[in-house]
Chain A
Amino acid sequence: MSSLYEQLGGEAAVDAAVDIFYRKVLADDRISHYFDTVDMDEQAVKQKAFLTMVFGGPHNYTGKDMREGHKHLKGLNDTHFDAVLENLAATLTELGVGTDKIEQIAAIGNSVRDDVLNR
């Protein structure tokens, strides 16, 4: 059986999701300040890395990388984390992804919660 990432449509699915997800995140007052940098292209590349990872795609990030990569984000807590997952689920729904797959993706996200929140 093919991987979740392949079932979703691989890199093309990630590309389709980046725009929608990034727009939602920028419009979400709870978390937009974390993503509102001057260099939108650079930020889009990171969104792509994030989506590839939660889609179960190929990546080289470890839990330690997730810890290092987010620890400079001041005051990051569960509320922010849940907001990201919420925007992710809304993005996937918009793209017509079924609820069973959305749950699998949320589970991948949740598996790094403690690393991302550095605890």
Chain B
Amino acid sequence: MATVQFEDSMVSVASGSNLLEALLHAGHDIPNACRAGACQSCMMQVLDGELPAAAQQGLKATQKAQGYFLACCCEPQTHLKVQRNPASQSVCAVVVDKQLLPGRVLRLRLSSELDYRSGQFVNLVREDGLSRAYSLASVPELEPELEVQIRIHDDGQFSQWALNDLAVGDSLKVQGAFGDCFYTSENMQQPLLLAGTGTGLSPLYGIVRDALRLGHDGPIHLFAGARVADDLYLDKELKSLASAYRNFTYTPVVLEAEIQPDGIEVGDINQIMKAHYPDTKGMRAYFCGSPERVQKLRKQTFLAGASMQDIHCDQFTPSSQAVAA
């Protein structure tokens, strides 16, 4: 057991537990979602003391150097002094629109004062503290509200609650914005390759619109995967973007189809992307969605020539608070 100084208080972390649990238990409001080291929303900064190596697993060298670490992976062995991640915000948001899209996707629009980049993610926090990470499909310069697209899981605690109980006019706490999966305009000629399945499309939709808004010049190609054609929930929006911008191409991909549907490719999205781009050298890529899918896309794109630094990913890791199915 070790003690940790946070703001003006001291908490002790029992062995087998972690700093996030101890801080939450003591009543501190610390952003968190996965509690498994994946979402990085519980990131904090150490001011004094020795961190266990596991607390910095997976962070970038620059983050490590600044003393950033993940509270949910930190079981301190000796006394630490820590502070909140200075970059994280916590704001109140009001639901202004709620819509069920095809493919069991719930679209929420929230009014809030959050600073963010399109494609980053936030934690939505219910009154009782239940919290889940969702990516932002909105572009702050194009629309005033935050937009999230939530896949409804049959036994999903948050998604079922959002579908059945959350109403327009209700408020939610929003923490964020996190992640470095967003568009940057340092190389406007670079070809962009984006792919995602399911609601992995949400941040990609934001990133594409952000890039186009900023006048990205190089070709932009988005592959959107779904099980069946009816689940391609942003099909209309993406088609109209593709006809409005000559450098934007949209390729819908479905796993199953009885007859070859018009303008849709059938098969595995990884294979189809590979057939289009056997060589990815010099390209910049964005992949979002289920961890298995994203890891495969990343590896294949790296092996085909893209530089690691040019591959940006958001893995939708399920929360460790999820009740196992």
Contact A44 B303 (CB under 8 A): no
Contact A23 B58 (CB under 8 A): no
* The one of A23, A39, A40, A45 that contacts B61, using a Cβ cutoff of 8 Å: A45
Report A24-48 residues with CB < 8 Å from chain B CB.
26-27, 36, 38-42, 44-45, 48
**Could you tell me how many residues of chain B have their Cβ less than 8 Å away from some Cβ of chain A?**
14
Q: Which residues of B contact A39 (CB under 8 A)?
A: 57-58
Report B46-61 residues with CB < 8 Å from chain A CB.
57-58, 60-61
**Is the C-beta of A55 less than 8 angstroms from some C-beta in chain B?**
no
Contact B298 A40 (CB under 8 A): yes
Report A69 CB to chain B, min CB distance, Å: 12
Given contacts A23-B302, A26-B299, contact A18 B308 (CB under 8 A): yes
- Contact-residue bracket for chain A: 10 to 19
In whole angstroms, what is the CA distance A22 to B309 when docked?
A: 13
Report B106-150 residues with CB < 8 Å from chain A CB.
none
In whole angstroms, what is the CA distance A44 to B58 when docked?
A: 10
**Is the C-beta of A19 less than 8 angstroms from some C-beta in chain B?**
yes
Report B300 CB to chain A, min CB distance, Å: 10
Report A6 CB to chain B, min CB distance, Å: 20
Given contacts A18-B308, A23-B303, A26-B303, contact A42 B298 (CB under 8 A): no
Contact A44 B57 (CB under 8 A): no
Contact B60 A41 (CB under 8 A): yes
Given contacts A41-B60, A45-B61, contact A27 B303 (CB under 8 A): yes
User: Chain A: interface secondary structure?
Assistant: helix
Contact A42 B58 (CB under 8 A): yes
Contact B302 A40 (CB under 8 A): yes
**Is the C-beta of B89 less than 8 angstroms from some C-beta in chain A?**
no
Contact A41 B58 (CB under 8 A): yes
In whole angstroms, what is the CA distance A19 to B298 when docked?
A: 13
**Is the C-beta of B190 less than 8 angstroms from some C-beta in chain A?**
no
**Is the C-beta of B85 less than 8 angstroms from some C-beta in chain A?**
no
Q: Which residues of B contact A27 (CB under 8 A)?
A: 303
Q: Which residues of A contact B61 (CB under 8 A)?
A: 45, 48
Closest to A49 in B: B61
Q: Which residues of A contact B308 (CB under 8 A)?
A: 18-19, 22, 40-41, 44
Report A20 CB to chain B, min CB distance, Å: 9
Report B281-325 residues with CB < 8 Å from chain A CB.
291, 295, 298-299, 302-303, 305, 307-309
Report A42-60 residues with CB < 8 Å from chain B CB.
42, 44-45, 48
Q: Which residues of B contact A44 (CB under 8 A)?
A: 308
Report A15 CB to chain B, min CB distance, Å: 9
In whole angstroms, what is the CA distance A36 to B291 when docked?
A: 15
In whole angstroms, what is the CA distance A39 to B313 when docked?
A: 11
Report A117 CB to chain B, min CB distance, Å: 24
> Which 7 pairs, one residue from A and one from B, show the smallest C-beta to C-beta distance?
A19-B307, A42-B58, A44-B308, A39-B58, A38-B295, A19-B308, A45-B61
Can you list 20 A-B pairs with a CB-CB distance of less than 8 A?
A18-B308, A19-B302, A19-B307, A19-B308, A19-B309, A22-B302, A23-B303, A26-B299, A26-B302, A27-B303, A38-B295, A39-B58, A40-B298, A40-B299, A40-B308, A41-B60, A42-B57, A42-B58, A44-B308, A45-B61
